Amino acid sequence: MVSSKHTLKTRLSRPGLIVAPGVFDMVSLRVADTFGFDALYMSGFGTVASHLGLPDAGLATYSDMLGRVTAMAQMAHTPLIADADTGYGGLLNLRHTVRGYEAAGAAAIQLEDQEFPKKCGHTPGRRVIAMRDMVAKIRVAVDSRESPDFLVIARTDARSALGLDEALRRAEAYARAGADILFVESPESIDEMRRIGSAFDLPLVANMVEKGRTPVLARAELESIGYKIAIFPVSALLAAVRAMTGVYQTLKVSGSTAGIDVQLADFGELTKLMGFEDIWAFEQRYAEPAMAPQGEQT
């Protein structure tokens, strides 16, 4: 059962865009969770990169991803939208995935209509399954959840290979199959985004990937077009990689971080973020008394 802290339905019924930053590991989860966002987005790209050091190309298993969902959802105070790729197999596998993600505490599961092995949405060469097959997946997902508060996001990747008209046709079919939220991936212009925004009554996801295939728009423009959720799946990861590169380059060249021009977090702030204050308080309260010298009576 999805707990109240992981319910998005109430927020979806209220005005305004839901901004969901991407999280990719437990440190990024802890940082993002401090800001009071309406939702966080567990990026498949970022999670596979961080957890396995591999490309988001269908290499992560259900077990790999369920472990990440469980760890993130149990730690977060913010509702977590979790990427589940194609569902990790056939319809029976999909049922297992939906039940697993819901039990882990995710607020929503994202499923896509790509062939297996899938590919990252802003990379070339994506192929999609037959629309009827994805419709069956959405029906299974909706029927398999325990609570209607656990939301099903249906994503179509048909735009790049088959065109926007086909992508819109598929999204409409997925809506009829019971999807709660629609995600038409990779529109390539603002005009295409406007077409998507005007085509559906269900909440829509905008995927804001810097230097990806889709224009990155401001909050007000996304709202005016008709989007309800804006995910920024790799923004923090891109920033982290750039900052880490600067640190490692400095160490390689100079052998020290003395005088480094990369902005670093305060170490004390990091220990607080990671929960060391709780550890210290526990130790102060429960630490065993020092052992008395041998033979001394206590």
d(CA 140, CA 67): 22
Average pLDDT over residues 171-178: 98
Q: What is the pLDDT of residue 2?
A: 47
Whether 28 maps to a domain, the answer reads yes
Whether 279 maps to a domain, the answer reads no
Percent of the chain with pLDDT over 70: 91
Whether 253 maps to a domain, the answer reads no
Confidence of residue 288 (pLDDT cuts 50, 70, 90): low
- Phi and psi, residue 174, nearest 5°: -70, -35
Q: What is the pLDDT of residue 252?
A: 96
Q: Are 172 and 201 in contact (CB under 8 A)?
A: no
- Residue 124: which domain range? 4-240
pLDDT at 20 over 50: yes
Give the count of domains, the chain.
Answer: 1
Q: What is the mean pLDDT of the chain?
A: 92
Whether 191 maps to a domain, the answer reads yes
Whether 291 maps to a domain, the answer reads no
Instruction: Give tens-digit pLDDT for 62-83.
Output: 999 999 999 999 999 999 999 9
Instruction: Give tens-digit pLDDT for 242-266.
Output: 999 999 999 999 999 999 999 999 9
Q: What value, to the nearest 5°, has the Cα angle with vertex 117 and ends 184 and 137?
A: 55
Whether 126 maps to a domain, the answer reads yes
DSSP annotation of 124 reads S
Whether 170 maps to a domain, the answer reads yes
d(CA 223, CA 15): 9
Q: What is the pTM of this model?
A: 0.90
Average pLDDT over residues 162-190: 97
Whether 81 maps to a domain, the answer reads yes
Q: Are 141 and 96 in contact (CB under 8 A)?
A: no
Give the residue with greater pLDDT, 274 vs 124: 274
What CATH number is given to the structural domain containing 83?
Answer: 3.20.20.60
